[in-house]
Amino acid sequence: MSRFASLSRRNRSLPHGLRAFTHRDYRIFWFSQLLSLTGTWLQSLAQSWLVLTLTNSPVALGAIGILQFGPTLILGLPGGVIADRYPKRQVLVLTQSAIFAITSILAILVVTGKVRLWHIYAAAFAFGVVNAIDMPTRQAFVADMVGHEDLGNAVALNSALFNTTRIVGPALAGLLLSTVGAGICFALNAVTYLPTIGALAIMHTNGDPAPASGSQSPIDRLRDGLAYVRQTPAVLMPIVLVGLVATFGLNFNVWAPLLAKDVLNIGASGFGVLMSSLGVGSLTGALILAFRGRMPSLSRILLMAGAFGALELALALAARELAPLAAIMALMATIGFCMSTTMAQANTLVQTSSPHALRGRVMSIYMTVFAGATPVGAAVAGVAAEWGGAALAVALGGAVALTAAVGVAIWNRTLTQHDASGTLPVTAPEPAAGPRSES
């Protein structure tokens, strides 16, 4: 009997939507991330506002995204090879410690008033390099903690966690920015990495690689991951969709501060309110996914992605027409709802369709298109906002997201019509590398 099966039977008293919490290490991981992600949102908003204050340039805001996520475009795939080659918990201890050091240095510079724009750029680039390894490792580590049966629920609860902090972090950041200043946001973020490092140190799950993973060269392991994604439409299609939507539609840190400052004239606290509205909708979507417990389907993912694009187009029109703040907040909330349901379902579909031995590499491809292409989108959004204002940047992202959803739907329909059984392959057999190792 597996550890996961026995745990599931002993903890049936928990609500269905919380079943991933039956796993001790996942509980430790989740609550440690609650503080860490809140701190990340504090710094994210403070950083965007600080750069805008220093430069008053949308292009400078876009440059932050280029530097922070550009390394993932180059190093994301090798990061997945590392995730499948070494114990994931040990890799995460190293990456989280490195991020703690980077954020601490930046916090000292901001608090002491010595920060310059190039300091922020350098820290963003260093964070991006480390995060290229951290992200696929952290994503793949969830399956090691909870097992395949509870993976979908864990992904939904992770999304709920992320979006809870998306509400709390921006609201708190807006308050602190308008009363105390940016320095405290950077300092608090640095401190919040300590609980995560401590939590990883006391976990039992090690996230060991598949037994035979060391017999291949890194290049061969990378090729295996790429080949699997290319040959599995149920993995490839959501990855392509997520890549396009994330690249062009999720550039909130570029256009949201401009919307608050230059269009709505609501200042730093209003910026926090806008981002918190986005978080309220995102959290609602994540909780619905967690408690409904349905396995994701490509059709629902496409529906939500299409709605996301249409709503961003509506937001651009509302901003251009100077709609009331309440209407803007409502649109931000519904955009957040569609965004979180799209991304969480796509993440679950990709992970559950991937064999254990390849999961780190598959998730590195997912995270590369999700985060690594952000520099392209940030640059496009920054130039669009510089040329035509924040509303144009929002409209462009919405148009691409809507077009991507329609395009992938047509692709899916074409493949289904050519498949004799009328269905698409969802999973592939586990490679011959050996059974899943459980710690």
What burial class does residue 283 get, using C-beta atoms within 10 Å of its C-beta: 0-12 exposed, 13-18 middle, 19+ buried? buried
DSSP-H helix ranges across 11-116: 24-55, 58-85, 88-111
Q: What is the DSSP string of 225-274?
A: HHHHHHH-HHHHHHHHHHHHHHHHH--HHHHHHHIIIIIS--HHHHHHHH
Q: What pLDDT shows up at residue 215?
A: 54
Lowest mean pLDDT among 15-19, 90-94, 131-135, 242-246: 15-19
pTM of the model: 0.71
Residues 6+ apart with CB under 8 A from 251: 62, 65, 374, 377, 378, 380, 381, 393, 397
Cα separation, 283 vs 289, in Å, equals 10
Whole-number average pLDDT of the chain: 82
431 pLDDT band, cuts 50/70/90, is very low
What burial class does residue 227 get, using C-beta atoms within 10 Å of its C-beta: 0-12 exposed, 13-18 middle, 19+ buried? exposed
Residues 6+ apart with CB under 8 A from 229: 235, 236, 239, 362, 365
Cα separation, 433 vs 35, in Å, equals 37
Q: What pLDDT shows up at residue 349?
A: 87
Could you name the CATH architecture of 21-418? Answer: Up-down Bundle (1.20)
Instruction: Give the residue extent of every domain in the chain.
Output: 21-418
3-state DSSP assignment of residue 10? helix
Question: 59 or 42: whose pLDDT is higher?
Answer: 42
Mean pLDDT of 154-177: 82
Residue 281 tokens, joined: 């909708």
331 pLDDT band, cuts 50/70/90, is very high
70 pLDDT band, cuts 50/70/90, is confident
Residue 339 tokens, joined: 């965004």
408 pLDDT band, cuts 50/70/90, is very high
Terminal Cα-to-Cα distance of the chain (whole angstroms): 14
